[in-house]
């Protein structure tokens, strides 16, 4: 492909920091680069972070922290990545899939309240493309029913809702540093803790079920098996690469915004639906999508892109109707008609800092020359 869908971005100091970490001998988790990256993530998210091996694993920690029992229910959108659901299904919980809003493609806050039952143990929101969910309404429902909110903020590092960072609303939130995300170290993630009641146990679960974090702080004289747990620490080698990216966050974001804005301006007035960002939401230019009238037109546009050596792609396939979604989950009242409709019609355009102006123009041109648009 002349223009691939994604190209990993090098901020500049990754190799230098990797060499520093490798030669220091401190390559396991919670080393010096982990401390640096943790502070930077915490600042961007207005929260307190623990680095993890992935967003998937951070979500698994949230499921352990909630002490879910088989049959407990977790409300979430169907229009999301599989890990949002799998983390809770692994604990025996039932994902209750609710529909999304047709404008932001975020969980429909009105459907959330309707899905609450006495077995509901959490509401998981996903800020699609880093555009905030309707957090005022969702937090109100959560408070009313005393149910914790978890933010899967994989797309939304640095984004805000009414001037407050995404990742700071839920009792817990998660970040991803996968190669496809704005800031990356290949594979990595973070757990954000906003409800202090979860902190001590989160540290233990992340450290294989031991109190090794307290031991390293000198708070206990030996560390022991305390609880369930697994190996969720990011290697300091990867934290070194992550630090290099986080230090250049503004530069990464600046170029992503330029590309996003160029698409948005150049594709205005065409017969195609562009992303909608409500007032009060500051998004991080994580993705740019178009909604075509139907599946046939979407497939035709993807072929049109491929003929021009531009890689565009679809996105989430609904979880509620996927084989595992049917087996382990159920839908809320009314099902997920918007999710089913949108999943068939959505096309994502290439969006990353390494795109040149000429490449952005070529992508725009590919859309504009699509017959009937
Ligand atoms: C990427 C992504 C994940 C998974 O992140 P990993 O770090 O790859 O585990 C989870 N949820 C959403 C919404 C994502 O986009």
Domains of the chain: 14-247 (3.40.640.10), 249-368 (3.90.1150.10)
Instruction: Specify the pLDDT at position 75.
Output: 98
Model confidence at 87, pLDDT cuts 50, 70, 90, reads very high
Q: What is the CA radius of gyration of the chain?
A: 21
CB 219 within 8 A of CB 212: no
Ligand 1 nearest-atom number relative to CA 80: 13
Pocket test for ligand 1, best of 152, 157, 166, 186 (most atoms within 8 A of CB): 152
Burial call 188-213: b when 16+ CB within 10 Å, e when fewer: bbbbbbbeeebeebbbbbbbbbbbbb
Q: Which two tokens stand for residue 17?
A: 């920091």
CB 167 within 8 A of CB 192: yes
Model confidence at 18, pLDDT cuts 50, 70, 90, reads very high
Separation of alpha carbons 170 and 55, rounded Å: 15
Q: How far is the CA of 6 from the centre of ligand 1 (A)?
A: 15
Q: What percent of the chain has pLDDT over 70?
A: 100
Locate tokens 């001590």: which residue?
A: 200
Locate tokens 């595992």: which residue?
A: 324
- Ligand 1 binding pocket, CB closer than 6 Å: 54-56, 80-81, 83-84, 126, 152, 154-155, 176, 178, 189
Mean pLDDT for the stretch of residues 30-43 = 98
Pocket test for ligand 1, best of 124, 155, 176, 184 (most atoms within 8 A of CB): 176
Q: How far is the CA of 176 from the centre of ligand 1 (A)?
A: 6
Pocket test for ligand 1, best of 178, 186, 238, 242 (most atoms within 8 A of CB): 178
Query: How many Cβ atoms are within 10 Å of 373's Cβ, its own excluded?
Result: 16
Report strand pairing: 73-77 vs 94-98: parallel
Residue minimizing CA distance to atom 8 of ligand 1: 178
pLDDT score of 88 more than 80? yes
Q: Which two tokens stand for residue 306?
A: 């491929």
Model confidence at 1, pLDDT cuts 50, 70, 90, reads confident
CB 236 within 8 A of CB 33: yes
Mean pLDDT for the stretch of residues 272-294 = 97
Mean pLDDT for the stretch of residues 349-367 = 97
Q: How far is the CA of 224 from the centre of ligand 1 (A)?
A: 31
HSE-up (13 A, CA, CB side) for residue 275: 25
């Amino acid at each position: 492909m002349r223009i691939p869908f994604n190209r990993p971005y090098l901020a500049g100091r990754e190799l230098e920091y990797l060499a520093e970490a490798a030669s220091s001998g401190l390559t396991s988790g919670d080393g010096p680069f982990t401390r640096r990256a943790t502070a930077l993530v915490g600042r961007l998210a207005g929260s307190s972070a623990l680095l993890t091996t992935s967003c998937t694993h951070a979500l698994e920690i949230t499921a352990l922290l909630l002490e879910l029992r088989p049959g407990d229910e977790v409300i979430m959108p169907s229009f999301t990545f599989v890990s949002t659901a799998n983390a809770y299904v692994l604990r025996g919980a039932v994902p209750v899939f609710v529909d999304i809003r047709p404008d932001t493609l975020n969980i429909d806050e009105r459907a959330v309240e309707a899905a609450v039952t006495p077995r509901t143990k959490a509401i998981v929101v996903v800020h699609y493309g880093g555009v905030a969910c309707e957090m005022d309404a969702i937090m109100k429902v959560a408070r009313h029913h005393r149910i914790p909110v978890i933010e899967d903020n994989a797309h939304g590092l640095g984004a805000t809702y009414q001037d407050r960072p995404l990742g700071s609303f839920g009792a817990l939130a998660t970040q991803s540093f996968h190669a496809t995300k704005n800031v990356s170290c290949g594979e990595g993630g973070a757990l954000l803790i906003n409800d202090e009641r979860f902190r001590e146990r989160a540290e233990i679960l992340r450290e294989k079920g031991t109190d090794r974090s307290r031991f390293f702080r000198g708070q206990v004289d030996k560390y022991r098996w305390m609880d369930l747990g697994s190996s969720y620490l990011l290697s300091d080698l990867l934290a070194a690469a992550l630090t290099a990216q986080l230090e250049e966050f503004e530069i990464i974001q600046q170029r992503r915004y330029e590309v996003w804005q160029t698409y948005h301006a150049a594709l205005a007035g065409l017969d195609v639906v562009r992303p909608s960002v409500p007032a009060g939401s500051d998004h991080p230019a994580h993705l740019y999508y178009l909604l075509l009238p139907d599946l046939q037109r979407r497939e035709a546009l993807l072929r049109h892109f491929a003929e021009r050596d531009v890689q565009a792609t679809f996105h989430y396939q609904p979880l509620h109707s996927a084989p595992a979604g049917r087996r382990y989950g159920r839908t809320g009242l009314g099902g997920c008609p918007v999710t089913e409709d949108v999943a068939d019609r959505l096309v994502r355009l290439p969006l990353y800092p390494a795109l040149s102006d000429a490449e952005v123009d070529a992508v725009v041109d590919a859309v504009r020359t699509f017959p009937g648009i």
